[in-house]
């Protein structure tokens, strides 16, 4: 009986193609919107995680001040000293590598090409902390760091704008009137929420301090935590050491801050997930609207087919069979709308993901849930019209004009 009922449902849908399409339109839009929003949201979450991981896994960033900036009013918090770096290396357990950083900016010039970029002064430990390797050439030698020699390693953006497709290793560029030799080019990191990570020139910290900043202060210290140690424990020890070295009185606020890249990742991905859920919930409202549309059209269909229902009941069909016929018809409409919606969501996600610069992540679970929900919409909103059809009196139905 079920097979016959499904065939009858498809025949009824085929007789009124336009009406059937308009009936399923709400389901199509609802499923497509929900699946597209969730898919793009998952891609955005993955992109955030990738951007954070590019800062290095299990990395603590130590900065002066109480946030990413220097703070509001009040005196400028002091930078760190080389002795602070030595203390972290010698007194903290669970530290895999420590990299000091100073930052400047300037225009890099090579022959007739020039490019405004960011200059980092650091040590070879920076590349270990960041898990960043040279694509060509090499990293700093210990003697180059110690002597503060005029050598540099460039990011891919600087390499492309100054040297195009040519090998930059061994060439000399000028930054702020200072000449330095390119000894390596870094592997591509890409552009993300933290700016273009490849738009950088890295030099020995002593050279940058001597020629650009004019002092020995350190504006940032990056600490890589050993995988065998808990990051929060090392962070607590680092904060305690810095309070002691910077003579912060008990009860006073820190004049420095420690950022855990994992905490930043968890916060940003959590925020992205919540926003995705909110947008998906709003889009899901159109599914309910689509269900109401199915119920209304099915009620109209019952009215139009009253004589047909009366004939079926008169020749021996039972109410359960009539109910099943209209209920299956509603479910078929919902399932067809769900399938079309899933196809449109796939097309939209594949097209929009590159524009948003997020990866396309196909989630089978989301697609299955959306389809089952569309089928459930057909059951819920198709039951009342089906029950009304099954409850008709055969005599009254045959008299209906």
Q: What is the DSSP letter of 80?
A: B
Residues in the chain predicted with pLDDT less than 70, given as ranges, are 1-5, 8-9, 49, 51-57, 66-74, 191-194, 263-265, 267-269, 283, 303-305, 308-309, 312-313, 316-318, 392-401
Q: Is residue 330 within 8 Å of 385, Cβ to Cβ? A: yes
Helix (H, G, I), strand (E, B), or coil: what is residue 344?
helix
- Asked whether residue 171 falls in the same domain as residue 218, the answer is yes
Q: Which of 194, 223, 254 is the last residue of a domain?
A: 254
- Please tell me the distance from the alpha carbon of residue 364 to that of residue 380, in angstroms, as a whole number: 24
Q: Is residue 170 domain-shared with residue 318, that is, in the same domain?
A: no
Helix (H, G, I), strand (E, B) or coil at 109: strand
111-126 pLDDT, tens digit each: 889 999 999 999 999 9
Q: Do 334 and 229 share a domain, yes or no?
A: no
pLDDT value of position 52: 64
pTM exceeds 0.85? no
**Collapsing DSSP states into helix, strand and coil, what is residue 63?**
strand
DSSP SS3 for 401? coil
Please identify, among 199, 234, 254, the residue that sits at the C-terminal boundary of a domain: 254
Rg of the chain, C-alpha, whole Å? 33
DSSP state of 133: -
181-236 per-position pLDDT tens digit: 999 999 988 765 457 889 999 999 999 999 998 888 899 999 999 888 888 899 99
| Residues 20 and 86 grouped into a single domain | no
**113 located within any domain:** yes
Tell me whether residue 329 is in a domain.
yes
CB 77 within 8 A of CB 256: yes
Instruction: Provide the domain limits for residue 309.
Output: 2-51+266-399
In a domain, 65, yes or no: no
Q: What is the pLDDT of residue 272?
A: 74
Q: What is the pLDDT of residue 243?
A: 93
Q: Is residue 223 a part of any domain in this protein?
A: yes
Beta strand pairing call for 195-196 and 95-110? unpaired
In angstroms, the CA 49 to CA 112 distance is 39
Assess whether 239 and 279 both reside in one domain.
no
Contacts of 1 (CB under 8 A, 6+ apart): 321, 324
For residue 153, give the nearest of 133, 163, 139 by alpha carbon: 139
**pLDDT at position 71:** 47
| Residue owning tokens 């940058």 | 208
127 shares its domain with 275: no
Structure tokens belonging to residue 154: 């460039």
* Same-domain status, 100 and 214: yes
Final residue belonging to a domain, choices 204, 233, 254: 254
What does the angle CA 220 – CA 224 – CA 227 come to, to the nearest 5 degrees? 160
pLDDT, position 315: 72
For residues 76 and 108, the answer to whether their CB atoms sit within 8 Å is no
Rounded Cα–Cα distance for residues 97 and 48 (Å): 25
Q: Are 239 and 371 part of one and the same domain? A: no
Q: How many domains does the chain have?
A: 2
73 within domain boundaries: no
Residue 295 to residues 68, 129, 178, 287, 374, Cα–Cα distance (Å) = 55, 61, 76, 12, 13
pLDDT at site 275:
76
- Concatenate the DSSP letters of all residues of 193-253 into one string: TTEETTSEEEEEHHHHIIIII-S--BSEEEEEEPTTS-HHHHHHHHHHHHHHHTTPPTTSP
Within this chain, do residues 247 and 275 fall inside the same structural domain, yes or no?
Answer: no
Which residues is 59 bridged to in the sheet? Answer: 224
Q: Are residues 198 and 342 in the same domain?
A: no
Instruction: Tell me if 261 is assigned to some domain.
Output: no
Same domain for 232 and 285, yes or no, is: no
As a whole number of angstroms, the distance between CA 391 and CA 322 comes to 9
């Amino acid at each position: 009986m079920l097979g016959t009922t499904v065939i009858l449902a498809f025949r009824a849908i085929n007789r009124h193609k336009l009406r059937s399409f308009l009936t399923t339109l709400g389901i199509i839009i609802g499923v497509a919107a929900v699946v597209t929003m969730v898919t793009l949201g998952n891609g955005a979450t993955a992109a955030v995680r990738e951007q954070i991981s590019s800062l290095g896994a299990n990395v603590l960033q130590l900065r002066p001040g109480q946030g990413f900036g220097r703070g509001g009013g009040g005196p400028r918090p002091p930078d760190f000293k080389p002795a602070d770096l030595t203390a972290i290396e010698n007194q903290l357990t669970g530290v895999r590598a420590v990299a000091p950083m100073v930052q400047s900016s300037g225009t890099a010039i090579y022959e007739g090409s020039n490019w405004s970029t960011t200059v980092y002064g650091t040590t070879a430990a920076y590349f270990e902390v960041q898990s960043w390797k040279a694509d060509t050439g090499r990293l700093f030698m210990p003697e180059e760091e110690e002597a503060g020699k005029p050598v540099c390693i460039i990011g891919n953006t600087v390499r492309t704008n100054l040297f195009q497709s040519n090998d930059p290793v061994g060439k000399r560029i000028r930054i702020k009137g200072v000449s330095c030799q390119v000894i390596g080019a870094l592997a591509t990191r890409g552009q993300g929420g933290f700016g273009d990570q490849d738009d950088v020139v890295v030099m020995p910290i002593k050279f940058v301090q001597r020629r650009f900043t004019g002092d020995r202060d350190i504006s940032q210290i990056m600490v890589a935590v050993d995988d065998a140690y808990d990051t929060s424990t090392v962070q607590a020890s680092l904060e305690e050491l810095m309070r002691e070295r910077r003579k912060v009185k008990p009860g006073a606020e820190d004049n420095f801050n420690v950022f855990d890249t994992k905490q930043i990742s968890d916060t940003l991905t959590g925020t992205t997930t919540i926003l995705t859920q909110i947008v998906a919930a709003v889009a899901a409202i159109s599914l309910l609207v689509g269900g109401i549309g199915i119920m209304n059209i099915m009620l109209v269909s019952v009215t139009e087919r009253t004589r047909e229902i009366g004939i079926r009941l008169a020749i021996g069909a039972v109410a359960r069979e009539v109910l099943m016929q209209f209920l299956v018809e509603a479910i078929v409409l919902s399932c067809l709308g769900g399938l079309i919606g899933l196809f449109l969501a796939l097309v939209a996600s594949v097209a929009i993901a590159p524009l948003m610069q997020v990866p396309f992540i196909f989630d089978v679970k989301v697609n299955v849930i959306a389809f089952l929900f569309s089928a459930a919409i057909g059951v819920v909103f198709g039951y009342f019209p089906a029950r009304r059809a099954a409850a008709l009196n055969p005599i009254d139905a045959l008299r209906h004009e």
